[in-house]
Structure 1
Amino acid sequence: MLRVKFHVLGSLEVSANDRPVRLTGQRQRRLLALLLVNADRAVSLDTLIEVVWDEDPPTTAKRQVQNSISALRRLLAVGPAPEQPTIATEGNAYRLRLAASELDAGLFQNQVDEAQELSAAGQASQAAAELRAALRLWRGPALAGLTGRVLEAAAARLDEQRRAAIEECLELELRLGRHLDVIGELTELVATYPLRERLVGQLMVALHRSGRQADALAAYRRLRESLVGELGLEPGAQLRELHTAILKDENSVDALVSSASPATTASARAVPAQLPTDIAGFTGRVDHLKELDELLPDDPPGGATAAVISAIAGTAGVGKTALAVHWGQRVRHRFPDGQLYVNLRGFHPAGRAVHPSEALRGFLDALDVPPGRIPVGLAARSALYRSLLADRRMLVVLDNARDADQVRPLLPGSRGCRVVITSRNVLAGLVAAEGARPVMLDLFDPAEAHQMLVHRLGRERVGAEPQAAEEVITRCARLPLALAVAAARAATQPGFSLATLAAELRAAGGGLAAFSSRDPATDVRAVFSWSYEQLTEPARRLFRLLGLHPGADISVPAASSLAGVPDGQARPLLAELAEARLITEHAPGRYACHDLLRAYATELTHTSDANADRRAAQHRLLDHYLHGACAADRLLDPHRDPITIPPAEPGVAVERLADHEQAMSWFTIEVPGLLAAIDRAAQTGFDAHAWRLAWAAAYFLEGSGNWEPWAAAQQTALAAARRLADRSGQAHAHRSLGRVSVHLDRVDEADAHLRQAQHYFRAVGDLAGQARVNLDLCWISARQEQYRRALEHARKSLELFRTAGNRSGQARALNTVAWVRNYLGDHEQSLVAGEQALGLHQEIGDRHGEADTWDTLGHAHHHLGHRRESVTCYLRAVSLYRDLGHRWREADTLTRLGDAHHAVGAPKAAHDAWRRAVAILDELGHPDADPVRAKLRSR
């Protein structure tokens, strides 16, 4: 009889009658692994697609998976036995049916269950023996060698089951008095898992029984130092009790052997805890808290088939964030895999809301995804995020959302996750499409408002002046934010009576009666003024000017530029504002402002500062960004033809960047503010800044694959340059729009923009600009396989660069000539031109041009049959592109590197290069991904 066996407790292996069955390719291995870890459970087609492609799947993903399932069926159909494993189709899902004895994980679980029954029956020795037999089934880490978020999560679950079985077995053996036998094993396990308290407790018991009290205490001390130092936690109560018993050398140590269980263990994966601090004295909202409690997951998770979502809606200042954070902190123990939080700034009065891609970047950072593995594209980031949260139990709080589209990419798919969203709008789209449960938040009722004052000020003080307290509540219109600020005013002035506070509110320009209006931006003006009036005059001025800043947050140099003061003066002013809780330092040296406070600051600067002063501050801020962006751009590509920018205004803090790495970091952090500054410049009459800022950001946006923001910025730049009738600005904007249109596969638009750019560059006599456009037109012609026309453009570019005396441009044009000759089949001439270009690039130190030329030379050598030289050239190009952060060019060269490896009979190396290329192109959302994916399918 045929016997098929499957092994996942180690590397994935299949055998038939004890002979190995060969699995073909990673896709087949991944699909079979997922079906095995879900044996006898239906697995949806979407999940199978996700396990093969961690990020954006190809358009043919469904068909490819179905074909692979068919191949697996044929592989398993190796005999006529009716009980042989089968893959059944169930609707849009697949189920692998097999007996528990055919899967080592099933055998393992059966033996663990048997051991637990024996232990419960008092047969400790037999239970320990059964667990030892079960553990011998393991050959290494589960699913060793298979990568991907879904499979890694499944492997982590299996590995945790193994660790739990080891701990249970050791506990039984300690009960049987085998402490001398297990000390060595426990010592090794604790070294591997130093924060697993149960193992440490077992080691402490074994050491104590062996007469090694000092070593037992030292084991506890090492654990405590690690927990406190790494997590800020103390060991659990049971382990502390065991430690006390050993310290006193009490007989109760033996009684504690089975209770040295972990109160806290460190996970092998990141456990973020991003919730803000709970509101002290939070009060009211009893019914709303009950509504949120209904969302809590079962234990273990059950019922829901997807993440459960709650959408808290209400006006500004009504306490949406306070409710979400308070509830989250109250139930955080129900989410052992952590809590994620982001303020989406959906109703920020000045500047842009947080883009879902930015929010996902923060979440992926919190989940310990290395920066190099974080995709650029929104869809790819969202897919990676959902994969990481699969099978985790996490709370996700999305605060201050603008609309449903802003939050949809941030919604996990795991049924163990819960999502709480706050917004001023009722997110009806989420309620209808995603089944979100709306929670409507209104003003405090009178009892809740009174309770809040009691919590903040004390029952005695409020009870002593009931009428004054009632007036404060009335003038605050029971708005929680206003009540909180009013209570803070009273708390910081304990000598003031509540009657005095009520009188201040009455006299403050109509007091807080305005809180009953529908405009929350003005509701708290008088309340905010209390904090504002206590500032020094320089801090007040800086606070007002912050209302002019368009970005979500601001750096110290940008704030210095706004105020026109040195960094050394700006820092203490920012610290003063932070202490007054008018801004927060959310990251070292970066400050953010609540949206209502920003609106208040904006109002103040328009009522308190002269028009000329405001415009001067805006000018300094835009100069700060323009000079910083141009300096960073120069470090990214020193041979890019610079534009002329005016000197910075007095008082502008100009960024001092040392190298390429610092420039990349600066752009990465500041690009949201730069994009907002481009819009603000165009809106406020600083059109020259608008198009120049867009030019300065273009190279970074292109290299990092941010096509849509790049296109939007250049459209703004073009409109600004047109208003100025600035032909040079229009030329640069048209050229940049042409390049981004190629990346977006809008070739006709690209050609039209580049023709316009050529017209304007001719009009201003910019030979280098005309030459660059010819290189771009060459690129388009080559994409359309019009290689003779492409060669004409390349030659024209070389001629123009020579006339202009531009050596860097000549080198790049020579390389382009060589590149086109490759496509014309003239590879010998390609080598000649390419070698000339390479020498010139290396002479002037142009690493970008050198990378391009190594790629061209690799192509020529490949087609001349010089296989080794070809691979060497491509590898040099890939290395340079990676160092320069130019991802799409890296992917382009990796594709050709794969071709070269394939030509010399190295299919594994070829597939590796193509896979890396597809991964980058998919992350960038580039249309060239599908042709490269086709190479993987066909070879």
Structure 2
Amino acid sequence: MRGLVVGMEFRLLGDIQARLDGQEVDVGHIKQRGVLATLLTDANRVVPVEQLIDRVWADHPPLRARETLYGYLYRLRRALSAADDVKISSTPGGYVLSVDVMAVDLHRFRHLVTQARTASSDEQSLVLFDQALGLSSGDAFANLDSPWVNAMRDVLEKQRFAAILERTDLALRSGRHSELLSELFARVAAHPLDERSAGQLMLALYRSGRRTVALDQYQQVRQHLAEEVGVDPGPALQVLHQRILRNDPMLDTASTVDSDIGGALRYTAQAAPMAVVPRQLPIAPAGFVGRVSELAQLDKIALKAGGATVISVISGGGGVGKTWLALNWAHRNVDRFPDGQLYVDLRGFAPSGQPLSPEVAVRGLLNALGVDTRSISADLDALAGLYRSLVAGRRMLILLDNARETSQVVPLLPGSPTCTVLVTSRRLLTGLVTAYSAQLLELDVLTETDARDLLARDIGAERLAAEPDAVNELLDYCGGLALALGIVAARATIQPDVPLAAVAGELRDRTSRLDALNGGELAVNLRAVLSWSQHSLTHQATEVFALLGLAPGPDIRLAAAASLTALPAPQTLSVLRELEHAHLIHRHSTDRYRMHDLIRLHAHEQAHNNLPEATRTTALHRLVDYYLHTACAADRLLAPHRSPIRLDPHTPGTHPHPLPDRPAAMAWFDSEHANLLAAQHAAATQQWHHTVWQMAWALNTFQYRQGLLHDQLVVWQAALDAAVHLPDPTTHTSTHRYLGIAHADLRRHEEAIEHLHQALALAEHHHPTHQVLTHLTLSWAWKQRGDDQRALDHARLALELVRTLDQPVQEARALNAVGWYAAQLGDYDTARSHCQAALTLYHHHHDPDGEATALDSLGYIEHHTGYHHRAIGHYQQALNLYRDLGHTPRMADTLTGLGHPHAALGHHDHARAAWEHALDLYQKQLRTTDAERVRQHLTTLDTRSF
């Protein structure tokens, strides 16, 4: 049912709609709705830009897909701006739509179905199923068409169909067989091969006194199966047919409370009576939260059996919640396995380090099936054969928990397609995937929402609400690791009078965090649980694991790991794969690996406990050298006219990453930026002063072009602290100058001028080139402060000095600076001549960055002198160059300039497109003043003259 929702409501299960207080909101054309649907499907999760483009356009994106996407997102933000609780935000990784998931019908449907399956009564379950099914108004994502949309639509249809079948079972059990008949006839006609629907119709007919029609229905489905797929009905439907033939009183609703179709199909025709029906599942986990998509994936795998044994492998690191998930799914689906559920803990990563042997495991399974194995001396093959014979034809679940390797599992696999096998392991068990078509489900940590729900369920929502800051800390320190959260919750529950802030305080210190995550027993001691994962590692993998705990930064790529370990790349890759298979590291892209923060702490401990200090220091030096030497080579590609610095030879065993061209350099910087910042910090901790300064220098071009203004300030502040210990006076000059630039870009005018005056005073004693560069920077700083005349004065001083030095590229910079500031003061003739001369020099010396700067200046000049078409041409050339360079701050400035001549010529669509793109870039760069200025341009576009 769709009640009136106060606030914003989104509909995806039919036509894509947004409604505010019951009134439809215009969210644009179909492609724009596709962007909205993608963000809503992954509500509150970051969706990368590339994924957005792929989901909306697939193999046929428009020529400028990113710009088109930015326009859609801008318009969606405006359309949804009236809702306080809905927000589309940009992040470094993509975009996220923040919303209460219950306001999205797709998520509400899944939530209601989950509630229905766990409700305390059939009546309550029926109400919840009806509410969930009432949310659909047609095909999901109506009118959208892409591979992702079609796959999602197929999954949702299967989920809806499964809910319908479950709801029908409940209705049959409640005696509503008569009212179901018309619905069931229609469903069987639409799905003639679905045996469960056919069985439901047969049971409803039988209970309605239409036994002959029920038997005829069986013959019809039997004929359909024979003609379409060449098989007979399954054992369950055959049993139902036989029971209807003999008027089995158990089929009468009055005979048993468990007389729905699930109960009616409890016997398998092909299996002999079993002496024991095993019910070995351990108790269902209390307080289970989240894992909705993982549970749905397991359901999907089970539903797609296709006549083969279903084998699912839940793989993940220690403490992530594999057994928790497996047991929860097993208990939710216990009715699917009326012939029993077998469970064995294979102890693959037990504290003793000795996994359960396959022979001992299969004997345990035989005992559970009623076989006394004490007098059986057969070998493993014979025992496995007997086990497979006993489970053949039976609908059973076999849960093999905590497996260490494929060979431990294979003898325990049944040969019957009626059985389902669920395996958990800290390793990937790829042998099961390749040889037995097992379906792999890699389990990640809990989402923040699910982690918060777990704490709320154990500790209490009121206690969490009373200390929100402490709760946020606890969530951050646990990082979604289920075991860590469980330990924290247990401690808080046992000590109800201890503030959560005190518990968080114990976790705050990284050096003692693992001590605080000790529940007093091995199974709830996080350090012990993590250590068990290392039992099966080779000696080399154990050492590399410890070294990875020393690596600064959030992740590490293969080339960097090779430098850290001093191993050849192929050998490094082999070791990383071993660690990945043990779920001690996670490969999150082609050659990049990361560790969970708590696993990193454990690895760091291992390094300090087991590796000599010299080994640790040398490994860290190799890794920092890798980052520094690669960064300097990358900067050389980005800014070939920049005077290089001299580096010391790198530490033996270091393998700097070769970069072929400018795009590759930009991509490398983009992917490694966080690691480079961390490497500089590590160098500062080690007091490697030259490295600290050189890292700031190597990062400068990239950070400037990406608009990473705050990061730029941080790295140069660290460089200033290091420069005190360095003998070369030019490092002091450069550092003050770069700090002046960083402060000026952040509108910190006093600090900028102070640093630049210090730089100028130092430069006057030893280097005229530094004087030129400092005067140019001072001109920029005064411009930022609003004093165009003083900016022009410094630019002219720079031009006079540089003309004595034979440095044509720096002369071009000074020429363009004089031209730009002259234009700001209205002297357009002087401005044009100087900027044109700068452009000629830049072009002659192949400096595309400089060319773009001069073209941008000329665009401004031509617009302000009335030559709007020329201005557009200059701006567009500059924009193309900046885009090729990856210079996003200047792209935003040029787009802002480009909008003005378009507006002046009445090209309002072009002006709006340019300003919307600029606004998006400014918002990403946190340039709020510039963003507000462009927002005003957009607001007044149709009423003002530009």
Q: TM-score by structure 2 length?
A: 0.50
The equivalent residue for 2:427 is none
* 2: CA distance, partners of 1:778 / 1:924: 23
The equivalent residue for 2:286 is 287
Q: CA deviation at 1:657?
A: 0.8
Which runs of structure 2 are paired with 1:44-123 in the superposition (5 Å)? none
Q: CA deviation at 1:682?
A: 0.7
Q: Does 1:777 align with 2:811?
A: no
Q: CA deviation at 1:838?
A: 1.0
SS of 2:587's partner is strand
The equivalent residue for 2:932 is 930
Q: Say whether the 8 Å CA contact 1:324–1:420 is kept in structure 2.
A: no
* 1: CA distance, partners of 2:460 / 2:761: 50
The equivalent residue for 2:677 is 675
* 2: CA distance, partners of 1:743 / 1:701: 12
Aligned-partner residue type, residue 710 of structure 1: Q
The equivalent residue for 2:228 is 247
The equivalent residue for 1:894 is 895
SS of 1:286's partner is coil
Give the direction of change, closer, same or farther, for the CA distance of 1:670–1:803 in structure 2 (3 Å limit): same
CA displacement 1:534-588 (0-9 Å, x = unmatched): 6544444333322221122211211111122332332223233334544333333
Match of 1:631 among 630, 633, 641: 633
Match of 2:465 among 421, 431, 456: 431
* 2: CA distance, partners of 1:421 / 1:701: 40
Aligned-partner residue type, residue 699 of structure 1: T
Q: CA deviation at 1:517?
A: 8.0
SS of 2:836's partner is helix
The equivalent residue for 1:909 is 910
The equivalent residue for 1:15 is none
SS of 1:655's partner is coil
Q: Say whether the 8 Å CA contact 2:319–2:526 is kept in structure 1.
A: no
* 1: CA distance, partners of 2:853 / 2:569: 41
Query: Which ranges in structure 1 are unaligned for 5 or more consecutive residues?
Result: 1-7, 13-25, 38-49, 65-155, 167-187, 202-216, 221-239, 253-280, 298-316, 334-396, 402-406, 412-416, 442-451, 453-475, 481-511
Q: CA deviation at 1:709?
A: 2.8
Q: Say whether the 8 Å CA contact 1:867–1:904 is kept in structure 2.
A: yes
Give the direction of change, closer, same or farther, for the CA distance of 1:775–1:661 in structure 2 (3 Å limit): same
SS of 1:882's partner is helix
Q: CA deviation at 1:849?
A: 0.5
Q: CA deviation at 1:719?
A: 1.8
Q: CA deviation at 1:626?
A: 0.3
The equivalent residue for 2:750 is 748
Q: Say whether the 8 Å CA contact 2:487–2:519 is kept in structure 1.
A: no
Give the direction of change, closer, same or farther, for the CA distance of 1:865–1:745 in structure 2 (3 Å limit): same
* 1: CA distance, partners of 2:446 / 2:803: 56
The equivalent residue for 2:665 is 663
Q: CA deviation at 1:680?
A: 1.1
Q: CA deviation at 1:794?
A: 1.2
Give the direction of change, closer, same or farther, for the CA distance of 1:594–1:934 in structure 2 (3 Å limit): closer
Give the direction of change, closer, same or farther, for the CA distance of 1:817–1:517 in structure 2 (3 Å limit): same
* 2: CA distance, partners of 1:519 / 1:780: 62
Which runs of structure 2 are paired with 1:659-808 in the superposition (5 Å)? 659-724=661-726, 727-763=729-765, 765-808=766-809
* 2: CA distance, partners of 1:642 / 1:883: 23
CA displacement 1:849-899 (0-9 Å, x = unmatched): 010011111112222222221111011111111221111211111122111
Q: Does 1:865 align with 2:866?
A: yes
SS of 1:651's partner is coil
* 2: CA distance, partners of 1:620 / 1:666: 18
Q: CA deviation at 1:623?
A: 0.6
Q: Say whether the 8 Å CA contact 1:56–1:923 is kept in structure 2.
A: no
* 2: CA distance, partners of 1:745 / 1:606: 44
Size of the alignment, in residue pairs?
Answer: 562
The equivalent residue for 1:884 is 885
The equivalent residue for 2:171 is none
Q: CA deviation at 1:752?
A: 2.2
* 1: CA distance, partners of 2:905 / 2:515: 81
Q: Say whether the 8 Å CA contact 2:631–2:698 is kept in structure 1.
A: yes
SS of 2:724's partner is helix
* 1: CA distance, partners of 2:867 / 2:455: 62
Q: CA deviation at 1:686?
A: 1.6
Give the direction of change, closer, same or farther, for the CA distance of 1:568–1:791 in structure 2 (3 Å limit): same
Q: CA deviation at 1:291?
A: 10
SS of 1:591's partner is strand
* 2: CA distance, partners of 1:426 / 1:53: 40
Q: Does 1:605 align with 2:607?
A: yes
Give the direction of change, closer, same or farther, for the CA distance of 1:53–1:538 in structure 2 (3 Å limit): closer
CA displacement 1:733-767 (0-9 Å, x = unmatched): 3333322323322222222232233344445x343
Which runs of structure 2 are paired with 1:356-435 in the superposition (5 Å)? 399=445, 431-432=465-466
CA displacement 1:481-518 (0-9 Å, x = unmatched): xxxxxxxxxxxxxxxxxxxxxxxxxxxxxxx9999688
The equivalent residue for 1:843 is 844
SS of 1:287's partner is coil
Q: TM-score by structure 1 length?
A: 0.50
CA displacement 1:280-300 (0-9 Å, x = unmatched): x9966733227999xx99xxx
Aligned-partner residue type, residue 247 of structure 1: E
Aligned-partner residue type, residue 634 of structure 2: A
* 1: CA distance, partners of 2:232 / 2:637: 70
CA displacement 1:580-608 (0-9 Å, x = unmatched): 54433333322233444433433343344
* 2: CA distance, partners of 1:285 / 1:802: 81
SS of 2:921's partner is helix
* 2: CA distance, partners of 1:251 / 1:398: 41
CA displacement 1:206-228 (0-9 Å, x = unmatched): xxxxxxxxxxx9xx9xxxxxxxx
Give the direction of change, closer, same or farther, for the CA distance of 1:589–1:826 in structure 2 (3 Å limit): same
* 2: CA distance, partners of 1:866 / 1:731: 42
SS of 1:288's partner is coil
The equivalent residue for 1:568 is 570
The equivalent residue for 1:621 is 623
The equivalent residue for 1:392 is none
Give the direction of change, closer, same or farther, for the CA distance of 1:578–1:857 in structure 2 (3 Å limit): same
CA displacement 1:403-435 (0-9 Å, x = unmatched): xxxx7xxx7xxxxx9975789999999734879
SS of 2:288's partner is helix
The equivalent residue for 2:815 is 814
The equivalent residue for 1:172 is none
Aligned-partner residue type, residue 714 of structure 1: W
Which runs of structure 2 are paired with 1:180-329 in the superposition (5 Å)? 244=225, 247=228, 286-289=285-288, 319=319
Aligned-partner residue type, residue 816 of structure 1: A
* 2: CA distance, partners of 1:656 / 1:645: 16
* 2: CA distance, partners of 1:190 / 1:558: 36
Query: Which ranges in structure 2 are unaligned for 5 or more consecutive residues?
Result: 1-10, 18-24, 37-70, 85-134, 159-189, 194-220, 234-279, 297-316, 334-442, 476-482, 489-513
Q: Say whether the 8 Å CA contact 1:282–1:326 is kept in structure 2.
A: no
Aligned-partner residue type, residue 866 of structure 1: Y
Give the direction of change, closer, same or farther, for the CA distance of 1:642–1:28 in structure 2 (3 Å limit): same
CA displacement 1:134-179 (0-9 Å, x = unmatched): xxxxxxxxxxxxxxxxxxxxxx999957959x9xxxxxxxxxxxxx
The equivalent residue for 1:359 is none
SS of 1:551's partner is coil
Deviating more after overlay: 577-586 vs 888-897: 577-586
The equivalent residue for 2:831 is 830
* 2: CA distance, partners of 1:533 / 1:847: 56
Q: Say whether the 8 Å CA contact 2:868–2:904 is kept in structure 1.
A: yes
SS of 1:928's partner is helix
Q: Say whether the 8 Å CA contact 2:719–2:735 is kept in structure 1.
A: yes
Q: Say whether the 8 Å CA contact 2:893–2:918 is kept in structure 1.
A: yes
The equivalent residue for 2:554 is 552
Q: Say whether the 8 Å CA contact 2:553–2:679 is kept in structure 1.
A: yes
Q: Say whether the 8 Å CA contact 1:194–1:200 is kept in structure 2.
A: no
Aligned-partner residue type, residue 802 of structure 1: R
Which runs of structure 2 are paired with 1:100-179 in the superposition (5 Å)? 160=139, 163=142
CA displacement 1:680-734 (0-9 Å, x = unmatched): 1111222221222122222222322333333223222222223446644443333
Q: CA deviation at 1:634?
A: 1.9
Q: Say whether the 8 Å CA contact 1:398–1:422 is kept in structure 2.
A: no
Give the direction of change, closer, same or farther, for the CA distance of 1:876–1:421 in structure 2 (3 Å limit): farther
